[in-house]
Structure 1
Amino acid sequence: MPSVTLSIESVLAVLDVVGLPALFVVFVLKGALVGKIFPTSVCLSGYVVLTGPTRAGAVSLVVLVTVAHVIGQFAVYTGSRRYGEELVAAVPYLHLEPSSDRFRRVDRWFDRYGDLAVFGTNVIPWSRGLIAIPAGVSAYPRRRYFVHVGSSTLLYHGVYVAVPLFGLAALG
């Protein structure tokens, strides 16, 4: 049993040093659609389970990953504003063509629902971030984009931190 305890302590020590900076990088990539290869919801909830942050720590964690995700999404928004829909082809690990049904569906959602689409697609796991492209192409106002993406992403990440925290509290 001593080696298991030592291993757990080692993992926690590493998380203490590199956990938050690593999460920040992963969530910037996720927001920029590059991180779609990372299971960020699992990483975030797992980090909470392993570190058991205080309430203040949990709030800080939610703010950190939200800011990181919004930075990544804003990069896509800005890039699509400048380069158009073809920016999608330049994003690594994103297998999405502007002519695909999935992309066109997000584009139609944006055209039809505007603000609601920007907010809503950021709380739906499979569509998160894609709205940045039609929003950027259409010159959707930056401030409104930040408000809707920031608030929906804060809500989304808040859930992924709160659920394991409540689970840990129920167990403890």
Structure 2
Amino acid sequence: MSPETLSLEYALAVLNVLGLPALFVVFVMKGALVGKIFPTSVFLSGYVAITTPTYVGAITIIVLVTVAHVIGQFVVYTGSRRYGEQIVSSIPYVDLDPSSDRFQRVDDWFTRYGGVAVFGTNVIPWSRGLIAIPAGVSSYPRRRYLVHVGTSTLLYHTVYVAVPLLGLAMLA
């Protein structure tokens, strides 16, 4: 066996052992707006393409990253419910000013559409997670928030896991 093949097999073995716990941590951070420092969707699709999980494995990945992301968003929601919009100033690696146009746009969407905005912004890549702040500040009901975030995040992550699997299936 060549050294390159052995190195690749070793790397895949490490990825299979540490991959799911690492995904969990990365997506909790992503949900808490900390993971915005790198494209986690590309990371997720790459992980799926490299590990080529079974359907049960793919479902496990989808559920894991969805639960992790929802936990992260719920932390921001709960923090903003308690401390207000200024919670964003205490989140590391987040450069978001509550008086910025982007933040005001998300706040306006939430004010106008409520739960539909919570669902919708969680399936649009550039706005995911920000809605947690106006939802928390307005004391939007926790259960409704979790239902909207959970279903939209599940849909979003299903697409990012299914696309590489379908691509690999088409190549086979």
TM-score band by shorter chain is over 0.9
Aligned length: 172
1:9 is matched with: 9
Q: Distance in 1 between matches of 2:153 and 2:125?
A: 11
- Matched ranges for 1:65-76 at <5 A: 65-76=65-76
Q: Which sits farther off after the overlay, 121-130 or 4-13?
A: 4-13
Cα contact 1:30–1:38 (8 A) shared by 2: no
Letter in 2 for 1:168: L
CA contact (8 A) 1:44 1:160 kept: yes
Q: CA RMSD in A?
A: 0.9
Paired with 1:158 and 1:59, the residues of 2 have a C-alpha distance of 8
TM-score (normalised: structure 2): 0.98
Structure-2 separation of matches of 1:92 and 1:170: 41
Shift of 1:38: 2.5
SS of residue matched to 1:123: coil
Distance 1:65 1:97 in 2: 27
Deviation at 1:4, TM superposition (A): 2.2
Aligned to 1:62, the other structure's residue is in SS state helix
Counterpart in the other structure of 1:29: 29
Q: Which amino acid aligns with 1:55?
A: Y
Q: TM-score, normalised to structure 1's length?
A: 0.98
Q: Distance in 2 between matches of 1:168 and 1:14?
A: 22
Q: What residue is the counterpart of 1:127 in the other structure?
A: 127
State the 4+ residue runs in structure 1 displaced beyond 4 angstroms: none
Contact (CA 8 Å) 1:31, 1:73: kept in 2 or not?
yes
The aligned counterpart of 1:152 is 152
> What are the within-5 Å matches in structure 2 for residues 66-145 of structure 1?
66-145=66-145
Of 7-16 and 142-151, more deviation after overlay is shown by 7-16
